[in-house]
Chains A and B, each alone.
Chain A
Amino acid sequence: MKKSWWKILAVVLLVYTIVGGLLLDVPRLMIVNESIRALYFHVPMWFGMVLMYLISVIYAIKYLRRNDPEADIASAGFAHTGLVFGFLGILTGMIWANYTWGTPWHGDPKQNGAAIATLIYLAYFILRGSLENQEQRARLSAVYAIFAFAAMIPLIFIIPRLSSSMHPGSGGNPGFNMYDLDSTMRRVFYPAVVGWILLGIWIASVRIRLINVEEKIHELEYEKNK
């Protein structure tokens, strides 16, 4: 139980996100109205996705340096969880956009960028699935993971800021301008981000451990058949 304190922290923060996110005061704004609370759930998906992809790329670099097959499995596991977060981010964004912008897909630069980044990461799994040889698969996908991360950052963080995006904090604005006015939302938003990220790490770790077990079983079977 000692090792799982952060899992308990994740649950506590998520319970707080739901209770605080729905019951605490939020700024009264036109257009978004009460739906501003979706911020506590939609935006942490992107924070989670970016962090999962970041951990994935760190393990990819680790694999290339040390040739450790477990680093390859970890890299793939975090990329997989990041992809789930990305899909949830896109879908929740579409629901929210339908309400505030009028259409689910607005062609907003950030929306398009997120969609392209998700496609790039989908290709990562096509690449992994198409290679039989473990070493070849690990090396190629590690290199691709670095490329995918390097492509994702400008697509999500830079291009939407250079053009006019309807997302707050984009279109030339440096950051959380709209929310900077309101410290009440930060009280829930930051714990929400940490909570969702910890949950993502938890899910990824279970998946990675499961695939490691699977690999070890394969090894045992291979030794037996020798």
Chain B
Amino acid sequence: MKKINSLLAIMIVAIPAFSQEPEMADAMRSEGKIYVVVAILLLILGGLVAYLVTLDRKVTRLEKKLEENRHS
């Protein structure tokens, strides 16, 4: 009996918590504004990766130059 009572108590407490939908950014999505955020983040990622690629190439050039210097 005690178990059933506590179960009931949990349900009474829990039901209102679940009946209320958590707030999500549905409006922002339906208006398509989320794509603005996606575009900005992709641009930042692209920019940083491009920068990393140029650094990578620069180091490769330095390594080659150093090898040439060593053999000469």
Cα A28 to Cα B24 in complex, Å, equals: 7
B34 contact set on A, CB distance < 8 A: 22-23
B38 and A33 form a contact (CB under 8 A): no
Chain B: which residue is nearest A209 at the CB level? B59
Q: Which of B17-72 contact A (CB under 8 A)?
A: 17, 21-25, 34, 37-38, 41-42, 45, 49, 52, 55-56, 59-60, 62-63, 66, 69-70
In angstroms, how far is the closest chain A Cβ from the Cβ of B45?
A: 6
Q: Which of A137-157 contact B (CB under 8 A)?
A: none
Q: Which of A178-226 contact B (CB under 8 A)?
A: 202-203, 206, 209-210, 213, 216-217, 220
> How many positions in chain B have a CB within 8 Å of any CB in the partner chain?
23
A19, A30, A209, A217: the one within 8 Å of B38 (CB): A19
* Interface SS of A by simple majority: helix
A202 contact set on B, CB distance < 8 A: 52, 56
Residue-wise interface mask of A (1-33) relative to B, using a CB-CB cutoff of 8 A (1 in contact, 0 not): 000000100010011001100110000111001
B42 contact set on A, CB distance < 8 A: 15, 18-19
B59 and A206 form a contact (CB under 8 A): yes
In angstroms, how far is the closest chain A Cβ from the Cβ of B19?
A: 12
Determine if A34 is an interface residue (Cβ-Cβ < 8 Å): yes
Cα A14 to Cα B38 in complex, Å, equals: 12
A15, A29, A213: the one within 8 Å of B45 (CB): A15
In angstroms, how far is the closest chain B Cβ from the Cβ of A215?
A: 10
Chain B: which residue is nearest A28 at the CB level? B22
Residues of chain A at the chain B interface (Cβ within 8 Å): 7, 11, 14-15, 18-19, 22-23, 28-30, 33-34, 202-203, 206, 209-210, 213, 216-217, 220
Identify 29 residue pairs between A and B in the complex whose beta-carbon atoms are under 8 Å apart, listed by A's number.
Answer: A11-B49, A14-B49, A15-B42, A15-B45, A18-B38, A18-B42, A22-B34, A22-B38, A22-B41, A23-B34, A28-B21, A28-B22, A28-B24, A30-B17, A33-B22, A34-B24, A34-B25, A202-B52, A203-B52, A206-B59, A209-B60, A209-B63, A210-B59, A213-B59, A213-B62, A213-B63, A213-B66, A216-B66, A220-B66
